[in-house]
Amino acid sequence: MRAAGEEVLDELSATAAARPAGEDDHVDGVPARVVAEPSTTDEAAAVLRIAAARGLAVVPRGTGTKLSWGHPPERVDIVLDTGRMNRVIEHRAGDLVVHVQAGVRLDALQEHLAAARQRLAISPVRPPGAGPGTVGGVVATGATGPLRLSHGAVRDLLIGVTMVRADGTVAKAGGKVVKNVAGYDLGKVLTGAWGTLGLVTEAVFRLHPLPPAARWVTVPVTSADDAHDKVQRVVHSSVMANALELDRAGDGSAALAVLVEGIPQGVDDRVRTLLGLLGDAGDTGEVGDAEVTDVPPGWWGHAPWERGGVALRLTHEIARLPRLLDAVDDAGPRCGLTAAVRGSPGVGVLHAGLPADPGAVSAFVTLLREASPAWGGDIVVLDAPPAVKAGLDVWGPVRGLSLMRRVKDQFDPDHRMAPGRFAGGI
Amino acid sequence: MTIDEAPALTGLAERLRAALGPDAVIDDHQRLRTYECDGLAQYRVTPALVVLPADVTGVVAAVRACAEAGVPFVARGSGTGLSGGALPRADGVLIVTSRLRRIIEIDAASQRAVVEPGVINLDITKAAGADGYYYAPDPSSQLICSIGGNVAENSGGAHCLKYGFTTNHVTGVQFVAPDGEVVRLGGKAPDATGYDLLGAIVGSEGTLGVVTEVTVRLVREPEAVRTLLAGFAGVDDAGAATSAIIGDGVVPAAMEMMDALAIEAAEAAVRCGYPDGAGAVLIVELDGPAAEVEAQFAEVERHCRAHGAFEIRIAADDAERASFWRGRKSAFAAVGRISPDYIVQDGVIPRTVLAEVLHRIAELSRETGIRVANVFHAGDGNLHPLVLFDDAVPGEAERAEEVSGAILDLCIQHGGSITGEHGVGSDKAKYMPRMFSDADLDTMQLLRCAFDPGGLANPGKVFPTPRLCGEVPGRHKGAHPLQDAGIAEVF
């Protein structure tokens, strides 16, 4: 008698490429049975219909750079790999709009768009040693890096979406025009939903012109208050920084780097203004401390955690940055660990890297969560080794959770899409 | 249905008077008629009951009472929507948020404002101005429209081309769910943990609950603003200039176009003094750091001349800038000077097919004898054709409706949308199936069912045939149960 797994494989193979799962296909330590690799929305729908008929759990995967983020799934029957859904369906350069399949790699897309002097203004959070991932992964996690200050988050750039629901129904929302208020904005609900409401198979994004000139101004910062003071000077000025990143290494050294992009003459002007704003203020004193470069600092756009370490996302009200940094500085020594912090204080999203010490991390996160009303944000453990996650609620408390559970129940009544991976056990 | 005929509603009125005070409840027929329509006056329904809560507790009381009595409710702000989104129900309660008008906090240091839903859009900018900030989304009605209504409709405006829409500027809401639960989503910090239900609430046209507090992003006032007005022979040239400017990598703060008929109307109303003989006028506004603005402004001017602008005016000061905008902002009202009746349409097309679509609209106009004046946000392809007619002429209103619908079909055919900023409301629910499949609409309904399983929040808006929660989503044959019961109609 044939094993049930083989039957599933046969059935899947009739609709999309499929193969037995191997060790590389484990999702955050949870073994998978089968990997399906559809190349179109219709094929993906066929895969999800089979999964629905057989009650199988499905976890979508792009290049896998953020596959271990969140809680480990409760079970994985099918890994739905989007690697073959890698076509740019339509790039309407004149409309500054691109329609892509979810498996398109972000770096390949940027290369394609650059030929038309355009870009998708998403700078993803890059885990150490990882590539920039796929469009689908960026949508699923909603993770954005430096450019968010000037261009908004993934949710703000996504204008249309095609999804396959858990039952295999294909649906779309939004469209191909930037201005559109017809119907519910399901694209936003799917952004950052970690694949738990359905599979995003296609996305339409608004694009921006590629700026002809870019310059980084980097200054050292000496304390949480100094960082705050400099951030406030930049964000309240009319210099219109395109990105503003803080980097505090574990050893206590820290820097703030500001990106300005635009036409060369305008960039020169804004750099001068920035030097005036940052140079004559704070504890560091002189303009001479500032470095002006044509390339970003080496740490720019890279996550502050080590491979195998612990990754946190810390959100905050812009003006309460020092409260958050002080809390990190206070909790670290109390828990016997040092946190490296990096991110976008002008947006209110920082990331932190911690060593993978289960007890210390758990104590650190607890201390920070207790203090979080002081800066008005959330603390999420994005990634950590299984031993660390086991002792933690990685997502923490969630406002509106009962409503979110009802949304999950409507979209995925059998809880088969990435079950247990998301906030509140969703 | 009047309140006298519905015992449930009589009980509701008494209950709400006891909870909210006698001043907060209106059930007198004459006074109720004040609320019979919103900005879209061709639809009129007298609500059974109006409540005017002064705080979130009052809203909870009203919503909970409706939930318990199984009575539908509709939220209404200033009533300036142009799609009938706040059209009352004859068998329901209208919850008016105009007394919820406190600006709770201007937190310039964190670039946020926290306000109640009845606060007027422009008042946020006025309050933030002292700190050098403003609230960016600026519907033409910003002098009177409320932020709660803006959230419901995901309102836009001339400056959304560069700065985005309401959804890009709301970072938190408190709202009362249809079961009366008070839910807070987001706040002053971004990326609250969990699903982005805030993204669902904005633009949901009051079908997911009643918003009672809004946290918005404030935007730093730009260092420089420059505005140019260019006269062209016709819309083709002006459209080509628009494409060239955007194609060159310039993202103006606003880019607005008017055609000959719209200019004629504006001149008749406000004597805006636009260039003589212009078949189209383009207004382009740039803002940002001074050096960028100067350099890009020269580019804009060059593109306008290259595409046939015969006259270019550059605003020397704020007064002149205001005069450029006066004609554009008065255009809707101004068509009343050249036509007894008109329909304001709101459709979107990809910018690159602007010329093609405008030609087709002109053909439609010729074929039907119905005049169409075009005023629109050229930069983002959001058309506002004003379809002119005379209700006194038999059959003309119907032909105008047909032209108006045909324009929406054109938008859909070209990959656009049936509404860019006014919402679907009562007016366009029937067009939704032309843009979305049954599966698309059913999927949206899944969200509705999660928030509002009883279907009491603003029923009949946005979706053409309200499906019952619990009904299996997917394709359906035959009459809908609600249709059979005589509750819903098929468009």
- Chain B, window 224-253: residues with a beta carbon less than 8 angstroms from a chain A beta carbon: 243, 246-247, 249-251
What's the pLDDT at B490? 35
In 3D, which of B442, B129, B286, B144 has the Cα closest to residue A183?
A: B442
Contact status of A392 with chain B (Cβ, < 8 Å): no
- pLDDT tens-digit series, residues B145-196: 999 999 999 998 888 889 999 999 999 999 999 999 999 999 999 999 999 9
Q: What is the pLDDT of residue A3?
A: 62
On average, the pLDDT of chain B sits at 91
- Spatial contact of A218 and A186, defined as CB atoms under 8 Å apart: no
pLDDT for the residue B470: 56
Q: Could you give the CA distance from residue B173 to residue B451 in angstroms, rounded to a whole number? A: 15
**pLDDT higher than 80, residue B478:** no
Q: Rounded CA gap, B453 and B208, in Å?
A: 10
Please write the tens of the pLDDT for every residue from B358-397: 999 999 999 999 999 998 899 889 999 999 999 999 999 9
Determine how β-strand A158-164 pairs with β-strand A118-119: unpaired
Cβ atoms of B425 and B83 closer than 8 Å: yes
Please state the separation of Cα A96 from the chain's center in Å.
Answer: 23
Comparing CB atoms, the residue among A97, A193, A399 nearest residue B184 is A399
The verdict on B185 touching A (C-beta cutoff 8 Å) is yes
**In the prediction, which pLDDT does A232 show?**
97
**pLDDT band at B333; cut points 50, 70, 90:** confident
Residue B328 pLDDT grade (very low, low, confident, very high; cuts 50, 70, 90): confident
Task: Say how far apart CA A186 and CA A172 lie, in whole Å.
Answer: 8
CB A344 within 8 A of CB A149: yes
Does the CB of B397 have a partner CB in chain A at under 8 Å?
Answer: no
Give CA–CA dist A142/A157, Å, rounded: 11
What ipTM does this complex have?
A: 0.96
Q: How far is B276 from chain A (nearest CA, A)?
A: 31
SS3 B430: helix
Selected residue of A95, A96, A144, A184 to mutate for chain B interface (largest B Cβ count, 10 A): A184
Q: Read off the pLDDT of residues B212-224 as tens digits, 9 standing for 90 and up.
A: 999 999 999 999 9
Scanning B378-435, the segments in alpha helix (DSSP H) are 396-413, 432-435
**DSSP codes of every residue in A314-373:** EE--GGGHHHHHHHHHHHHHHHT---EEEEETTTTEEEEEE---HHHHHHHHHHHHHHGG
Answer for the pair A106, A133: CB distance below 8 angstroms, yes or no.
yes
Q: Three-class SS of residue B21?
A: coil
In the stretch 337-366 of chain A, residues with CB closer than 8 A to chain B read 347-349
Q: Is the dihedral of CA B268, B273, B274, B276 positive or negative?
A: positive
Q: Which residues on neighbouring strands pair with residue A36, listed in sequence order?
A: A18, A80
- Least trusted range by pLDDT, from A124-133, A192-201, B25-34, B478-487: B478-487
Task: Report pLDDT for B148.
Answer: 97
- Residue of B163, B167, B191 best to disrupt the A interface, most CBs of A under 10 A: B191
Strand order, beta sheet including A88-92 = A88-92, A97-101, A199-206, A158-164, A170-174
| Orientation of helix B260-270 relative to helix B318-334, angle to 10° | 110
> Is B41 within 8 Å of chain A by CB?
no
- Which residues of chain A make contact with B288, given a CB cutoff of 8 A? 240
The dihedral of CA A159, A160, A163, A165: what is its sign? Answer: positive
Task: State the average pLDDT over residues B126-148.
Answer: 94
Interatomic CA distance for residues A350 and A363, integer angstroms: 19
Find which of A151, A159, A170, A179 to mutate to test the B interface (most B CBs within 10 Å of its CB): A179
The CA distance from A201 to A99, in Å, is 11
**Model confidence at B229: pLDDT above 90:** yes
User: What would the mean pLDDT of B14-40 be, rounded to a whole number?
Assistant: 93
The type of residue at B374 is N
pLDDT at position A125:
84
CA distance A386 to chain B (A): 21
Going by C-alpha positions, the residue among B244, B248, B215 that lies closest to residue B230 is B244
Residue B471: is its pLDDT beyond 70?
Answer: no
Beta carbons of A94 and B292 less than 8 Å apart:
no
Length of chain A: 426
Structure tokens at B367: 């074929």
How many CB contacts within 8 angstroms connect chain A with chain B? 277
What are residue B94's DSSP bridge partners? B50, B74
Query: Is B485 a residue whose pLDDT tops 60?
Result: no
Cα distance between residue B435 and residue B417, in whole Å = 7
A119 - beta bridge partners? A208
Q: How far apart are CA B115 and CA B127, in angstroms?
A: 11
Confidence of residue B482 (pLDDT cuts 50, 70, 90): very low
- Per-residue confidence (pLDDT) for residue B82, from 0 to 100: 85
10-residue averages of pLDDT along chain A (426 residues): 74 94 95 97 98 98 94 97 98 95 97 97 88 94 94 97 98 94 96 98 97 96 95 95 95 93 93 88 57 95 94 98 96 96 98 96 97 97 95 94 97 98 95
pTM, rounded to two decimals? 0.95
pLDDT of residue B484: 53
CB B436 within 8 A of CB A180: no
Predicted confidence (pLDDT) per residue in B443-456, tens digit: 999 999 999 999 99
Over the stretch B235-281, which tens digit does the pLDDT of each residue have? 999 999 998 999 888 999 999 999 999 999 888 888 889 999 999 99
Task: Name the residue among A238, A348, A398 with its Cβ closest to that of B223.
Answer: A238
Model pLDDT, residue B2: 56
CB atoms A94 and B220 under 8 Å: no
Q: Does A69 touch chain B (CB under 8 A)?
A: no
